[in-house]
Structure 1
Amino acid sequence: MSRELTVPGNPILADGDYYSTDPAPFVADGQLWILAGRDEAASDVNDFIMPEWQLLKTADPASGKWTHYPSIIKPENVFAWAEQARAYAGQIVEGPADGSGKRRYYLYAPVLEKNSDAEDRFAIGVAVADSPLGPWRDAHPAGPIISQKVPEANKIQNIDPTVMIDEDGRVYIYWGTFGQLRGMELERDMITPKGPERTITGLTGFFEAPWIMKRKGTYYMLYAGNKAGPTSDCTPAVYHACIAYGTAPAPMGPWTYRGVALKPVSSTTSHPGAVVFNGQWYLAYHTADAKDGGHFRRSVALDKLEWDDSVSPARILTVIPTLRPQPPLAPSRNIARSAWATASNDPVPVQFWIKALNNGVVKEAPLPPDMWGSWSPDNPPRQWIEYRWDKPVTINGSRIWFWNDQPAGAGVGVAPPAKWHLEYWSKQGWKAVPGASAYGTQSDSFQDVSFRKVTTRCLRAVLDASTDGKTHAALAVQEWEVLVPAAAPIAVRSDGAAPEACR
């Protein structure tokens, strides 16, 4: 069963009826195909619920015309040794021609091995078919070709395979996650490990999702990187990933880190796949940009990938994600999205993200980078968060959404504040906003405060931490809104230089 779609841009599947993830593009029969997993997690579930793989196909990405094949493979229907679901990131590769000139397609699939006593039961199987649409059958019915037990014992999670047939016909497979990357040669039958397993190094910040490719004699490895920090070229928050890349003169290295191909997107995970189609390179990746999307409800996007051949090896130009036309934001009293955010604990701990304060998003089950937070081994009794605007604004209200994992009165973990208040910058310095209503401290809902109008360029929420009398808990805020007297069109601040501090 398939359906024909005409889409105006990214993500390709955007209406929320099918989420798509971990894209693996390939070319077959003059068409550009994308193998993708399917996310089915509920909006309040933080887990990868991925029961099957699906396919997308187009003759011309610029046309917006795609054919969607919603369900082509379930792990348990192909691999008798595999458990249901957990159809993680796979890749389809067109194999070499046989003696009659016929080619087959090989699916490299990470699945859970049932009846295994391995510490981690993820394993990589291989399926084969005469068409990308199947029918698919297990090319190695004896079991996986890679696991913690075969072909060599290892202690890593064996997922995210990527495969390349080199120009000399030799076949290479790479896989791994959690900072562990392995590589190995396969026999030309596309199935049998030729070995040995090698540990791949030199790719700064490697976390997972390798993608191997070759261009003009140079080997390129794209991957999800999570080298995090305020000065990182990859990501400020450790839960988010960029797509980084490195190069090598030979399939097994040595590998050299070269930079970032795609900065963090709206989903915490990032997963690359790149392919040349009709002379143009494309990068496939996923985001949380579909309707009701999230970190576990991702959707595939596709953009052009360009090269800088003035240097050697050629540099990948950082891809700027595109998004289908969006309806204008409704007028609102909230002007926080036009502000620049900072905090007393700058630089913010790498598990949190200061930009989450005013991104307009509140999640049912947030992850740490969906909020500002202050957790540290020795939490202080007071913190503040601050908005700065380029020009003075007149405001008379605020709303704040606290997050906690410990109750009020706790001295550990993250707890609601014991109390808090708002201060604005005036010529006399920081002053409490006048005539403020009650400051609520409940979590998991907006706490609304109204006050008499003030005109200022800077506003702070000053938060007193919860304490048990011995130590102080940390604080966390998902979203902080600042309200003007009447609704107006929303201006969203773009990245750029910070406004001058109020002092």
Structure 2
Amino acid sequence: MWSEAPPVAIHAPGNPILADGRSYSTDPAPVVVGDTLWILAGRDEAAPDVDDFIMNEWQALATKDPASGDWTHYPAIARPEAVFAWAEPGRAYAGQIVQGRDGRFWLYAPVLQKADQSKDRFAIGVAVADAPNGPWTDAHPAGPIISQAVPEPNTIQNIDPTVLIDDDGRVYIYWGTFGRLRGLELAADMVTPKGPEQTITGLDGFFEAPWLMKRKGVYYLLYAGNKVGTDCTPALYHACIAYGTATSPLGPWTYRGVILKPVSSTTSHAGAVEFKGRWWLAYHTADAIGGGHFRRSVAIDPMAFDDKVSPPTILPVIPTRRPAPPPPPSRDIAGRATATASNVSIPVRYWIKALNDGIVRPTPLPPDLWAAEPGPTQQWLEYRFDKPVTLDGARMRFWADPSAGVAAPKAWRMEYWNDGWTPVRDPRGFGTGVDAFQSARFAPVTTRCVRAVFETAGAGVAVQEWEVLAPKVQPVRVSTSIAPPCDAKP
């Protein structure tokens, strides 16, 4: 039998708020209650090697001052099946709490219907409580207020609800994902649809995670954007937080730009709120200990507006991290290099910056890899350094997916720039397994550019991490500039 866990006082000297890997938090939805800022969050419970959203319950965080780092963690405040008799356990996806004009708290939650014939069984239920941490009671026991069957048939996945109670007391709800966004007005009872569903357009690159808010008479809608090749995101699986504005709660909407660049998790989900005269943006990352794309953690940073223009724009939010000790010295100096490859422009589902980010995942997603499609029998990767470095080894972590035609190469070798590409001397190792790093050694070379060349027999090839090793350990440094080609004229 599920029951609410007791609250725990924590101190977070920076982001993420919960960082030690004992509890992961995601999909933050902030709400102000008197002198306290609350954040509703889901809980990620996937094992490190599981690529799936294992989310069985919601939790909450509360503070009287986000800048202080002092929070109260409510580890479990609700489970789908405990609140909604018509819901299955699990899939406690992104919801939102708002305080109604009656003083009570209303939880809008996407859950799976346990007895439904819809193609997609996600639906949005509403629960009510006297406190933001519950206990919660189903406010509409007859079933969800939004699904593929109600209030009118639709074919979208009905998740990610966001709700605004306007200054005149009228209530509006938005929801949607996979590029399809809907909105409608709710009656004063907070549950009854009032008017038809509206298809929302005008929000460039909308993917999911809408957040509706109002400031100084202007309506803002924040969302996770996924427009590849723009200022939003470099890779298909990444998302930025973008926004649009409108002069009425159901639009029409005008796209205004990006406020949060892609974070360390492939998904991005944000909520914004004014608290004690200052605006804050809550979002999630993969930055906690043991974190990942399915083990995310809530962060929060100040958000500011430029009121010199009309409508006021939201200024870019710069993510911050809690202080951390410097990484230990290492022979791997790949982080100092700029990476490039034979297949530029790289397919948008992969990301070349994954090569030297120092992260290896048990089950990587495409943005955790560089990859080349099947076809050419030879491919190469290249690291360019700002100044000459000395190397005598490397480690390569290959990845394979037979269903995508991607396999380990038949063989690989390394070359260095010496007024032309020259094979390394005395090469040893250079294995081609995919279950562990493959080590390579060679006689020391001093150069500004080094290549890994793959013989593929026409199959695709993918690499999660490519380390290049100096003869002795050195302080870890990360390049902040783009190194020029080695054949560039001085």
Report how far residue 311 of structure 1 moved: 1.5
Match of 1:106 in 2: 106
Does the CA contact (< 8 Å) of 2:429 and 2:438 recur in 1? Answer: no
Match of 1:419 in 2: 411
Distance 1:4 1:142 in 2: 38
Does the CA contact (< 8 Å) of 1:111 and 1:123 recur in 2? Answer: yes
2:368 is the alignment partner of 1:382: no
Q: Secondary structure at the match of 1:116?
A: coil
Match of 2:156 in 1: 156
Match of 1:299 in 2: 297
2:440 is the alignment partner of 1:449: yes
Q: Secondary structure at the match of 1:337?
A: helix
2:476 is the alignment partner of 1:493: no
Distance 2:34 2:364 in 1: 42
Distance 1:79 1:493 in 2: 51
Q: Secondary structure at the match of 1:244?
A: strand
Distance 2:311 2:112 in 1: 38
Among 233, 242, 265, the alignment partner of 1:235 is: 233
The 1:63/1:135 distance shift into structure 2, 3 A limit, reads: same
Distance 1:306 1:433 in 2: 52
Q: Secondary structure at the match of 1:197?
A: strand
In structure 2, what residue type is equivalent to 1:401? R
Match of 1:197 in 2: 197
Residue segments in structure 2 that go unaligned for 5+ positions in a row = 1-5
Match of 2:126 in 1: 126
TM-score (norm 2): 0.97
Report how far residue 248 of structure 1 moved: 1.1
Q: Secondary structure at the match of 1:373?
A: strand
In structure 2, what residue type is equivalent to 1:173? I
Distance 2:345 2:242 in 1: 23
Among 257, 274, 277, the alignment partner of 1:276 is: 274
Report how far residue 493 of structure 1 moved: 1.5
Report how far residue 319 of structure 1 moved: 0.6
Written as runs of structure 1 = structure 2, the 5 A alignment for 1:136-175 is 136-175=136-175
Among 231, 256, 259, the alignment partner of 2:257 is: 259
Distance 1:187 1:209 in 2: 23
Report how far residue 309 of structure 1 moved: 1.4
Report how far residue 25 of structure 1 moved: 0.3
Report how far residue 445 of structure 1 moved: 0.9
CA shift digits 1:445-473 (9 cap, x unpaired): 111111111110001111111x3xxxx21
Match of 1:502 in 2: 487
Distance 1:77 1:154 in 2: 27
Report how far residue 29 of structure 1 moved: 2.6
Distance 2:167 2:95 in 1: 22
Match of 2:431 in 1: 440
Distance 2:329 2:277 in 1: 44
In structure 2, what residue type is equivalent to 1:46? D
CA shift digits 1:50-81 (9 cap, x unpaired): 00000100000111100000001011111000
Residue segments in structure 1 that go unaligned for 5+ positions in a row = 98-102
Report how far residue 501 of structure 1 moved: 4.0
2:1 is the alignment partner of 1:5: no
TM-score (norm 1): 0.95
Report how far residue 444 of structure 1 moved: 2.2
Among 16, 23, 36, the alignment partner of 1:31 is: 36
Match of 1:68 in 2: 73
Q: Secondary structure at the match of 2:195?
A: coil
Distance 1:298 1:347 in 2: 30
Q: How well do the aligned residues superpose, as a CA RMSD in angstroms?
A: 1.1
In structure 1, what residue type is equivalent to 2:386? D
CA shift digits 1:372-431 (9 cap, x unpaired): 0112xx621111111000000011111100000129xxxx6101001111010012x001
Distance 1:106 1:154 in 2: 24
Report how far residue 500 of structure 1 moved: 4.0
Distance 1:233 1:250 in 2: 27
Match of 1:400 in 2: 396
Match of 1:461 in 2: 452
CA shift digits 1:286-323 (9 cap, x unpaired): 00000100000000000000111121111111111000
Q: Which has the higher strand share?
A: 2
Does the CA contact (< 8 Å) of 1:396 and 1:484 recur in 2? Answer: yes
Q: Matched residue pairs, number?
A: 483
Q: Secondary structure at the match of 2:402?
A: coil
Q: Secondary structure at the match of 1:195?
A: strand
Match of 1:100 in 2: none
In structure 1, what residue type is equivalent to 2:476? I
Match of 2:46 in 1: 41
CA shift digits 1:340-362 (9 cap, x unpaired): 11111112111000000000011
Written as runs of structure 1 = structure 2, the 5 A alignment for 1:76-87 is 76-87=81-92
Distance 2:195 2:114 in 1: 25
Match of 2:460 in 1: 474
Match of 2:185 in 1: 185
Does the CA contact (< 8 Å) of 1:458 and 1:502 recur in 2? Answer: no
Does the CA contact (< 8 Å) of 1:174 and 1:182 recur in 2? Answer: yes
Does the CA contact (< 8 Å) of 1:421 and 1:439 recur in 2? Answer: yes
Does the CA contact (< 8 Å) of 2:176 and 2:208 recur in 1? Answer: yes
